[in-house]
Structure 1
Amino acid sequence: MLFTLLARTGLRIGEALALTWDDIDFENKILTVNKTLVYPTNSTPYLSTPKSKASLRTIKLDDVTVRLLKKHRINRNEMYLKYQNYKKPETNIVFHQHDGRWLRTNVVREYFKEVCKRAGLPILSPHALRHTHAVHLLEAGANIKYVSERLGHASIKTTADTYLHVTKKIEDEALELYQRYTEKI
């Protein structure tokens, strides 16, 4: 579910790992990003403010993501009841280790590498899911300002410089739009 959420929202991994169930408004299909998990090497994890002021945001969730999050919550509650060593976290966090502690960022990265290997895909970082989400939005025709705000970027320039490399789909659609426009002139 963590990887699905990253791919469908463009959250940074620390933002996703910091989420609590209180940050998700299922009725209005909104997720609030107001903190990030910092997990320094050989140290205690802690919550911090997100990367920038623009990173404080609400993200609209699609129906599939809402349904999967609800299913994840039910599954977690069943696990607490079924297995004694599966502990409910004190902080109401969405993603956690079996003992209720924060998920470690490096463990998530290593697991993602394993998933990539098993799927026969190039070895990537979970951050690639953020990149994929942004590119998919842009290819679908989403306004770059919307994509920038959804990702929590401080400026549209950051979004454009990072994600608006020309893909074949964007190029083909732009050329098609141009041809239709020039035919009307």
Structure 2
Amino acid sequence: QVKGAILDAVDDGLLQMNPTRKVTIKGKEPREKKIKFLSVEELKRLVGTLECKNEINWDWFIVFVAKTGLRFAEALAVTPADFDLNNQTLSINKTWEYKKSNPKFQPTKNSSSVRKIKLDWQMIGQFCPLIANLPQDELIFVEKEKNGKYKRVFNSTVNKFLERKCIEADVPIITVHALRHTHASILLLEGVTMHSIADRLGHANVTTTQETYT
């Protein structure tokens, strides 16, 4: 805009010459935008590469986030007590402060983030035997050290794991947070209302959901 105004001023005779003629504008090339979600078929291919065994691992964590749309810290904070297997619901009422050297439970992002979400029958069937013998108030996805303290979990570590799985599945490389976007996008595709998606994601208002997904 500034360049256009100066060139107009030169053309109109207001300036005798362009004072910026030899100016060099420095800057960086814009970063390539990251893919923020997968399509239904791409998600199926990704899930097909996961090694979901008889005990909890990061493969199960990827499935869990993709099927619930939870934030990273919310998913880490899930305990067996949060599952209501009879009513097929999951309570989200806390987060795990994974960024600190001595991690602990923290409140959710906001009051709207405290919620109950429905789980499909397949997920209930998968997780029921996985958590059956675990203490009710202990984390499902975070291992403990020999001294009884929880091991530190880094977002970058899980993202690297997911990156390897994306490459193996031949789908765009995404982050764990992009699984949340994928979850919401699939719900939108299936005709779920924006208000229902906002409630499930724990957004404070539906405007946030609309601005992100429409």
- TM-score calculated relative to the size of structure 1: 0.74
**Corresponding position of 1:134:** 184
Q: Determine if contact 1:17/1:103 at 8 Å carries over to the other structure.
A: no
Corresponding position of 1:124: 174
Gaps of 5+ in 2: 1-59
How far 1:35 moved relative to its partner?
A: 0.3
User: Retained in 2: the 8 A contact 1:89–1:96?
Assistant: no
Q: 1:66 to 1:160 in 2, by over 3 A?
A: same
3-state SS of the aligned residue for 2:105?
A: strand
Greater CA deviation, 130-139 or 65-74? 65-74
Equivalent position of 1:48 in the other structure: 106
Distance 1:72 1:58, change over 3 A: same
Distance 2:80 2:152 in 1: 15
Give the residue type in structure 2 aligned to 1:158: T
Partner AA of 1:97 in structure 2: E
Is the Cα contact below 8 Å between 2:80 and 2:135 reproduced in 1? no
CA contact (8 A) 2:80 2:137 kept: no
Cα displacement string for residues 107-143 of structure 1 (whole angstroms, at most 9, x for unaligned residues): 2222112212222222211111110110111110111
The separation in 1 between residues aligned to 2:118 and 2:151, in whole angstroms, is: 25
Secondary structure at the aligned position of 2:99 is classed as coil
1:57 aligns with 2:115: yes
Q: Does the residue aligned with 1:124 lie in a helix, a strand or coil?
A: coil
1 CA distance for matches of 2:151 and 2:196?
31
Cα RMSD over matched residues?
A: 2.1
Separation in structure 2 between the aligned mates of residue 161 and residue 93 of structure 1, nearest angstrom: 33
1:145 aligns with 2:195: yes
Q: 1:113 and 2:163 equivalent?
A: yes
Q: Which amino acid aligns with 1:13?
A: F
* More helix, by proportion: 1
How much has 1:90 moved relative to structure 2?
9.1
Question: What per-residue deviation string (whole Å, max 9, x for no partner) do you get for residues 120-173 of structure 1?
Answer: 222211111110110111110111100000000000000000112xxxxxxxxx
In structure 2, the residue corresponding to 1:31 is in which secondary structure?
A: strand
- Once the two structures are superposed, the pairs formed by residues 51-90 of structure 1 within 5 Å of their partners are 51-73=109-131, 77=133
SS of 2:96's equivalent in the other structure is: strand
Range that drifts further, 92-101 or 6-15: 92-101
Structure number, greater radius of gyration: 2
| Percent of paired sites with the same residue | 38
TM-score, normalisation: structure 2: 0.65
Alignment of 1:32-47 (within 5 A): 32-40=91-99, 43-47=101-105
Residue by residue over 1:4-42, the C-alpha shift from the partner in whole angstroms, topping out at 9 and shown as x without a partner, is 11111111111111001000000110100000112126x
- Give, in angstroms, the shift of residue 102 of structure 1: 4.9
Unaligned runs of 5+ in 1: 78-87, 165-185
Change (3 A) 1:123 1:23: same
